Amino acid sequence: MSVEIRNVTAGYGGDPVLRDVSLAVAENEWVAILGPNGAGKSTLMKVIAGLLDPSAGTVTVEGGSPGDHGRRRMAQLVAYLPQDPFFPESMTGGEYVLLGRAPHLGYFAVEGPGDIAVANEVLSLLDAGHLANRPLGDISGGERQRVLLARALAQEPEVLLLDEPTTALDVGHQVAALDMIGSIRRERPLTIVAAMHDLSLAGQFTDRLILLAAGQVVATGTANEVLTAPLIKQHYNADVQIVQVPGGVAVVPLRPT
Amino acid sequence: MTAQPDTVRPATLRWGWMAAGLGLLIGAVLLGVVVGPAKMGAGQVLRELFGSLIFDSPSDLTATEQAILWELRLPRVVLGGLVGAMLAVAGGAYQGVFRNPLADPYLLGVAAGAGLGATIVIVSAGDGSTALLPLAAFVGGTVAVAAAYVIGRSIGGRSATTIILAGVAVAAFFTAMQTYLQQRNLDTVRQVYSWILGRLTTTGWREVLILLPYVIVSAAVLLFHRRLLDALSVGDAEADALGVPTGRVRAIVVIFATLGTAAAVAVSGLIAFVGLIVPHTVRLLVGSSYRSLLPLSMVFGATFLILADLAARTVASPAELPIGVITAFVGAPFFGLILRTSRRVIS
């Protein structure tokens, strides 16, 4: 297993957000974490990244707990992309991607030729070489998503944690971003855990889906097993129509009658 | 630039700006040693300086003029440069670790603590002997910041905001004590005020020698953090996830910025505004990477304070204006102009 969490309870001081959650993600698997607002998706991502200590239960990532690995080793193993990343306006795309080398650098070290080579490589992998010297304040949302992903890949992680990676993008850029993530997996082994809002995209791009509701796992399985009208009605309180599409399942919301 | 347009380049020191800054600094130093009540020709001064430094050949200055140059003007110019460089680099580093454009070296209470220390010495000396003043100011400043840091951490862990708020509380507390002491001793209020407004007074090279080691060590440590300060610019949460030890970086930067600032304040009083406007001006000129910002802030801060001190001692000559009045009076409108003409918002 690449990621395994057992009986995890976690939160921010008050009532726990996650309650007794257990799940496992295999090497090179792409798992979508689904669930309505407040279900605990972001909290789960932070727990796996080692940024939030659970109050109970165990987290194992690549053979050790975040505490065993230490912060720097964790950042070599796991790249975490937050929901609402900050893009310093005058930083260039290349400088931003080089931030991903931080876990590989000593305290006082600065980036060397090897780090620059990695940054160039991931930018060209994502077809974003032209952003290397553009200030982040001058580029579009889709382009920012690209350099953000490049920064994560520059960490050379085993596991990629994405917290709603495509929420800010239009439909074209959403599909392009997920397609880009999928194509990375053909280039190098990578385990992906992605909290996702868009059920149709999750149903087509990912290997397995885990549905969270009120801090607990309520369903897990393939798109056909998890994306069903009764489950979505129960947990999202939405009427939907499930449509079979080539390569997966799409979920069409219906207006209440 | 010879690199391909689409090749990644790490941020590096902008050498063109550095050369320009060093040129200005040299000009400011020369202006500072040439201008003064005792008239000396620029050529004579240059011959004396370079003659004795490089060629070991004395100039045609009289012994008195030589003494004025070597024991009065040059130490004062060098002290101004050191204080300006220290306040500016500390301000820039503070803005980085607290991700707060309003941060300056006095943010966590150095000024209030040093002010209390200085006031205690001035009011208790009575006879005007203030030999202990630098030490008291230094101790007061470092104690205030240490208190702010410890209180902030005990409340909110590593959060930058709680440390800043604790600093505000500590500063208010120390200022209250300082104001009380000051009001109880109205006979020394002028002396206290003149210290608070800042002034560069030298006793030969003594102050320079006191300050120099602090500036060297503090500036070196801060400059070594340039990449980590860049990494912190994405925020604590993301920097944590990138493996950056954010809490440790903030603690080390605060410790060394505070030591340097407290030492500068101890010999120069509370010179306002340098630590705020110099780094911001540099940021607006060359961008926000600390790899350029910190070294350039030192050079421009030194230049700015040398010129401000020149103005302080010549504008109303033979009277001397408090240098803090000059830095704010000239610095504020200049800063406004820079903000107006700059394209990018401070982020």
Spell out the residues 6+ positions from residue B276 whose beta carbon is closer than 8 angstroms to its own: B91, B102, B104, B335
A71:B240 CB<8 A: yes
The token pair at B66 is 């030589």
B233:A119 CB<8 A: no
Task: Please report where in the chains the tokens 């408090």 appear, as a residue.
Answer: B322
- Give the one of B10, B11, B243 whose C-beta lies nearest to A102's C-beta: B243
The token pair at A105 is 């650098």
Task: Please report where in the chains the tokens 């380049």 appear, as a residue.
Answer: B9
Residues of B with CB under 8 A from a CB of A: 5-11, 224-228, 230-231, 233-235, 237-245, 287-289, 291, 344-345, 347
pTM of the predicted structure, to 2 decimals = 0.90
What's the rounded mean pLDDT across residues B218-247?
A: 95
pLDDT at residue B284 in the model = 87
Q: Choose from A73, A95, A146 for mutation: most chain B CBs within 10 A.
A: A95
What's the rounded mean pLDDT across residues B258-285?
A: 91
pLDDT at residue B1 in the model = 43
Q: Is the pLDDT reported for residue A213 higher than 50?
A: yes
Q: Chain B: residue nearest A127 by CA? A: B6
Determine the distance in angstroms separating the CA of A226 from the nearest CA of chain B, rounded to an integer: 31
Determine the distance in angstroms separating the CA of B108 from the nearest CA of chain A, rounded to an integer: 25
Q: Choose from B1, B7, B8 for mutation: most chain A CBs within 10 A.
A: B8
Per-residue pLDDT band at B158 (split at 50, 70, 90) = low
A87 interaction partners in chain B (CB closer than 8 Å): 234
Angle formed by the axes of helices B160-184 and B110-125, nearest 10°: 20
Q: What is the DSSP string of B216-242?
A: HHHHHHHHHTHHHHHHHTT-HHHHHHT
Q: Is the pLDDT reported for residue B346 higher than 50?
A: no
Determine the distance in angstroms separating the CA of A97 from the nearest CA of chain B, rounded to an integer: 9
Q: Chain A: residue nearest B285 by CA? A: A90
Q: Chain A: residue nearest B8 by CA? A: A94
Average predicted confidence (pLDDT) for chain A: 93
Determine the distance in angstroms separating the CA of B346 from the nearest CA of chain A, rounded to an integer: 9
Q: Is A217 exposed, middle or buried (0-12, 13-18, 19+ CB in 10 A)?
A: buried
3-class SS letters over B77-114: HHHHHHHHHHHHHHHHHHHHHHCCCCCCCCCCCHHHHH
Q: Choose from A91, A105, A130 for mutation: most chain B CBs within 10 A.
A: A91
pLDDT higher at B19 or B134: B19
pLDDT at residue B24 in the model = 97
- Give the one of B7, B226, B244 whose C-beta lies nearest to A132's C-beta: B7
What's the rounded mean pLDDT across residues B9-15?
A: 91
Q: In what order do the strands lie in the sheet with A216-221?
A: A78-81, A159-163, A191-195, A30-34, A208-213, A216-221
> Any idea what the Cα angle at residue B115 is, between residues B121 and B164, rounded to 5°?
145
Spell out the residues 6+ positions from residue B93 whose beta carbon is closer than 8 angstroms to its own: B222, B225, B229, B253, B257, B290, B294
A155:B230 CB<8 A: no
First to last CA, chain B: 27
- Give the one of A51, A75, A132 whose C-beta lies nearest to B237's C-beta: A51
A90:B344 CB<8 A: yes
What's the rounded mean pLDDT across residues B225-251?
A: 94
Q: Choose from B242, B248, B288, B290 for mutation: most chain A CBs within 10 A.
A: B242
What's the rounded mean pLDDT across residues B60-74?
A: 88
B244:A90 CB<8 A: no
What's the rounded mean pLDDT across residues A112-128?
A: 92
The token pair at B262 is 């407290």
- Give the one of B224, B234, B240 whose C-beta lies nearest to A99's C-beta: B234
A133:B9 CB<8 A: yes
pLDDT at residue B56 in the model = 65
Determine the distance in angstroms separating the CA of B218 from the nearest CA of chain A, rounded to an integer: 15
A75:B231 CB<8 A: no
Determine the distance in angstroms separating the CA of A126 from the nearest CA of chain B, rounded to an integer: 13
Per-residue pLDDT band at B195 (split at 50, 70, 90) = confident
Angle formed by the axes of helices B246-268 and B206-224, nearest 10°: 160
pLDDT at residue B2 in the model = 45
ipTM confidence score: 0.90
pLDDT at residue A177 in the model = 84
**In this predicted structure, which of A160-169, B15-24, B107-116, B250-259 has the lowest mean pLDDT?**
A160-169
